[in-house]
Every structure is written in structure tokens, then in C-alpha cells.
Amino acid sequence: MKAPGRLTVVATPLGDARDLSPRAAAALREADLIVAEDTRSARRLLAETGGGAGPAIVSCFDANEAARAAEVEARLLAGANVVLISEAGTPLVSDPGYRIVAAAIAAGARVVPVPGPSAVLAALVGAGLPTDRFLFLGFPPRKSGARRRLFGSVRALPFTLVFYESPLRTPATLVDLAAVLGADRRACVARELTKPHEEFVRDSLEALAAHYADARPLGEVTLVVAGADGAGASDLGDDEIRERAAQLMAEGRSPSDAARELAALTGRPRREVYALVAQKSG
């Protein structure tokens, strides 16, 4: 029986083509099949490696990833050498690819990561905030209420927080971060990483929200936010929880939603928090 092929997961440049490693370039040239989030950018990248006509390239995005995973598994079982790339950066990190890797493992194929560019790490090391422990949370929810619930659930964590965000939603997200995590919390807006207009803007969340209120950032955005300083939300007393519940309900949250958010924020049992919220709303 023929041995399964190999799936190589290749990190590709965020913007500067010189960031493609020699090992990554060789993997692209030697592939039997390239599975790419964007086939046009994949062809350009392959041409820059001197790969000539190169291997076949097929698309893999959210809508077709499940079907593509089945195709990749079949190719791997036939012994093919498959390379997975996203449009830029490291595949699977807020990009398609998880199902492809899972299918490769199911097929008994070897999965080989070729590390390289990552917007998460590039933003983190340039932000000027602690890097010993960090939490990557991908793209925040599109709606403010859901965003604030997410931010509330991590408010007390001592880890530096990293988010991806659309430039269109960045101003509103900064407002929500300041409201939930605190106006004075330090943060950084990292923009257009590795590209000619790369920029790091570092300030408090309140100042950043004001800065971008009338001028949204352009290009790809990564947000880096300092973790809690130790006087976290887990220390909130009953009266403070009641007051925060009143604020949330004044913003339109139901008592149940306020209790859920405050339970995540404080780490206290939801039933216990709901009893306090009910006292305030009664």
C-alpha cells in the first residue's frame, strides 16, 4: 500500500516579499498541489520563487473548505505532496486551513509546518507591551453588545490581548475596549505590518479611540492591548457588581445578559451574580 503524502503548512509574507524564507520557497516549488486562500496571490508568489508554471493551485476559503478538505485527503492518500497557504501570514490563524490539517491527520499524512510571517507576533513585538504571556482572540464580534461581552470576559486577565480588526470597525472597537477595559489601559494600533506604510500608534485606549474617531486607519489592523494590572474585576464587591449591572441594563442589556457578562468578568457563578443583578433591577 502506498504511503500517504505530506501536507506542508507554509507561512507567506504579510507584505514584504523578502520575508519568504528559502525553505518556504522550496516547498512551493516542489508541491504537487498548492491549496491557497487566494489563487491570484498564490500565483504571484510562486512566480517570485522562480517556480515557472509550477504545481496546480486550488482555492480554499470558508465556503468551500469542507469540500476541499475531502479532496486534499484523497490526494494525500494517493501520495501527493500538498502545500497549504493563506493569502498572507500563517495559515489557520483567523484564516482557513483547520479542516485541511485535520483531514491530513485523518489520512495518516505527515503535517509539516514551515514557520514565518505572522501579524500576531509582528504586532506583539512592536507594540511595547509585555510579551511573556498573551492571548490572541482573532476578530472581535461585529456588533457592539457582543464585542463588549467578549471584552468583559477577558477584562481581569493579566495577559496582553491581541485582536485582528477591520479598519472600518477599528474606531468603534477602540471605544468599546476603553469602555469595558478602562480608558487608561495601554494599547497599540499596528497597521500595514511589513508594508511601506507600516505604523505603530501607542497610547491609552481612550486616546486611541479619540485619535481614530474621525480618521479610521487604512489597511490591515492588529490591536494589542495591555492585560489587567492585578486589581482586576475578580475583586469586585457585591455593590460594585450591582452598579455595573445597572450600567449594563441602562445600555439596553437584559438582567440575564448583564448577569452572564458580569459572571464572565468576575469568575463568580452566574446564579450568584444573577441574584445580585435581580436585586438591582427589582
Tens digit of each residue's pLDDT (9 = 90 or more) over 62-81: 999 999 999 999 999 999 99
Which backbone phi and psi does 16 adopt, to 5 degrees? -90, 115
Q: State the cell numbers at 91.
A: 495559515
User: What band does 280 get if pLDDT is binned at 50, 70 and 90?
Assistant: low
What pLDDT score does 235 carry? Answer: 60
Residues in Cβ contact with 195 at an 8 Å cutoff, skipping those fewer than 6 apart? 14, 15, 16, 219
200 membership: H or E segment, kind and range: strand 199-204
Are 217 and 170 in contact by the 8 Å Cβ rule? The answer is yes
Q: Is the pLDDT of residue 217 over 90?
A: yes
3-class DSSP state for residue 55? coil
Q: How far lies 218's CA from each of 88, 142, 188, 190, 270, in Å? A: 17, 18, 15, 11, 40
The tens digit of pLDDT for each residue in 83-120 reads 999 999 999 999 999 999 999 999 999 999 999 999 99
Mean pLDDT value across residues 16-32: 94
CA angle 195, 165, 36 (to 5 degrees): 65
Please give the grid coordinates belonging to residue 259.
448577569
Which of 27-31, 53-57, 74-78, 203-207 bottoms out in mean pLDDT, i.e. has the lowest? 53-57
206, pLDDT greater than 70: yes
Name which of 79, 81, 80, 33 is nearest 60 in CA terms: 33
**Residue-averaged pLDDT of the chain:** 91
pTM: 0.80
pLDDT of residue 51: 65
Task: Say what percent of the chain tops pLDDT 70.
Answer: 94
202 or 156: whose pLDDT is higher? 202
Please state the φ and ψ torsions of residue 272, each to the nearest 5 degrees.
-65, -45
pLDDT value at 232 more than 50:
no
pLDDT at 249: 83
Task: Examine the pLDDT at 23 and tell me if it is beyond 60.
Answer: yes
Confidence class for position 273, pLDDT limits 50, 70, 90? confident
Specify the pLDDT at position 72: 96
Percent of the chain with pLDDT over 90: 73
Nearest to 28 by CA among 91, 118, 107: 91
